[in-house]
Amino acid sequence: MAVRHLEVEVRREPGAAVLDLRGEINGFAQETLDAAYTEAEALGLETILLNFEGVDYINSTGIALIVGLLARARAAKRNLLACNLSDHYVEIFNITRLSDFVNVFPDEESALNGEAVQ
Amino acid sequence: MKAPRSGAHRTLAELSVPSEPGNERRAMEEVAGAVAGLELADPTLERLKTAVAEATMNAMEHGNLYRADAPVAIRVSASESELSIEITDEGSGPPTFDSETPDLEAKLEGVQTPRGWGLFLIKSMVDEMNITGDEHHHTVELIVHLDERAEGGK
């Protein structure tokens, strides 16, 4: 099974920079994810939304990368949000406690409207 | 100490995965195929896949040091009451896992490394995990209790 390397598109929406993630979030994803987050930061918005709609695999190294993004967001006093996680990865966000710090939404619309899942 | 085996186990598959980055996905998909006949509920299957991927990644990275000539062997077996996945690498000495319990706040404060989630995820995803080893191999065994599935187990 070939690795689906992460691809990220950054776009600006009213009130948030959105990172559209596609592929796998694993050890191969670090450079791409960090560069995309830096691009999103440069938009100067207070909120950054990670859209996981195109992500079908996150491993423990990927969780560590998301922790790294969260640390960057907190240091800059930005809100980091997540949307379109599968039920399984919502569970993983819960057991790792990422969801205590990253508000998780079912979809982009609810994220941008601030309707939290939990 | 390893718990006594529950009932007669039949082998569902014996797999071998080269120790190359990313191959943990191959392992988890092949295991998922091997257990298809058990008709696990989707959440149980997804948890099992994550546990298999993490244990295989650890075996490739820490046991086999990503040596291409050192495959990870995976044996899938089941009894009436439990599913067992044994993941064996060619490492020597004590099995290597980051033994520090991950603490997200400590990680965010830089007190802990952001990594170190593997063992925690494995333990969270299956009902039991056993680690054994000798001078030639390490084996991580993942166990899912099948008789608890219908009762809303993990």
pLDDT above 90 for A76:
yes
Minimal CA separation from B73 to chain A, in Å: 17
Instruction: Name the pLDDT band for A44 (thresholds 50, 70, 90).
Output: very high
In angstroms, the first-to-last Cα distance of chain A is 35
Return mean pLDDT, chain B. Answer: 90
CB of B107 within 8 Å of a chain A CB? The answer is: yes
Nearest CA in chain A to B46: A88
Using a CB-CB cut-off of 8 Å, the residues of chain A touching B46 are 86-88
Using a CB-CB cut-off of 8 Å, the residues of chain A touching B54 are 59-60
Instruction: Name the pLDDT band for B149 (thresholds 50, 70, 90).
Output: low
Using a CB-CB cut-off of 8 Å, the residues of chain B touching A97 are 104
Contact B115 A61 (CB under 8 A): yes
Instruction: Name the pLDDT band for B7 (thresholds 50, 70, 90).
Output: confident
User: What percentage of chain A reaches a pLDDT higher than 90?
Assistant: 91
Contact B57 A97 (CB under 8 A): no
Rounded mean pLDDT, B103-125: 94
Say which of A3, A63, A71 has its CB closest to residue B108.
A71
Contact A64 B115 (CB under 8 A): yes
pLDDT score for A1: 65
Rounded mean pLDDT, B85-98: 83
Contact A57, B52 (CB under 8 A): no
Other Cβ atoms within 10 Å of B108 Cβ, number? 18
Instruction: Name the pLDDT band for A6 (thresholds 50, 70, 90).
Output: very high
Return mean pLDDT, chain A. Answer: 94
Instruction: Name the pLDDT band for B5 (thresholds 50, 70, 90).
Output: low
Q: Is the pTM of this model over 0.90?
A: yes
pLDDT above 50 for A118:
no
Residues sharing a CB contact under 8 Å with residue B32, sequence separation 6 or more, in sequence order: B45, B48, B49
Instruction: Name the pLDDT band for B100 (thresholds 50, 70, 90).
Output: confident
CB of A25 within 8 Å of a chain B CB? The answer is: no
CB of A92 within 8 Å of a chain B CB? The answer is: yes
DSSP states of A9-70: EEEEETTEEEEEEEEEESGGGHHHHHHHHHHHHHTT-SEEEEEEEEEEEE-HHHHHHHHHHH
Q: What is the ipTM of this complex?
A: 0.91
φ/ψ of residue A47, rounded to 5: -120, 135
Contact B115 A60 (CB under 8 A): yes
Other Cβ atoms within 10 Å of A2 Cβ, number? 7
- With 0-12 / 13-18 / 19 or more C-beta atoms within 10 angstroms meaning exposed / middle / buried, residue A70 is buried
Minimal CA separation from B17 to chain A, in Å: 11
Rounded mean pLDDT, B17-43: 96
pLDDT score for B1: 46
More confident residue, A45 or B97: A45
pLDDT per position as a tens digit, A16-35: 999 999 999 999 999 999 99
Using a CB-CB cut-off of 8 Å, the residues of chain A touching B117 are 60, 63-64, 96
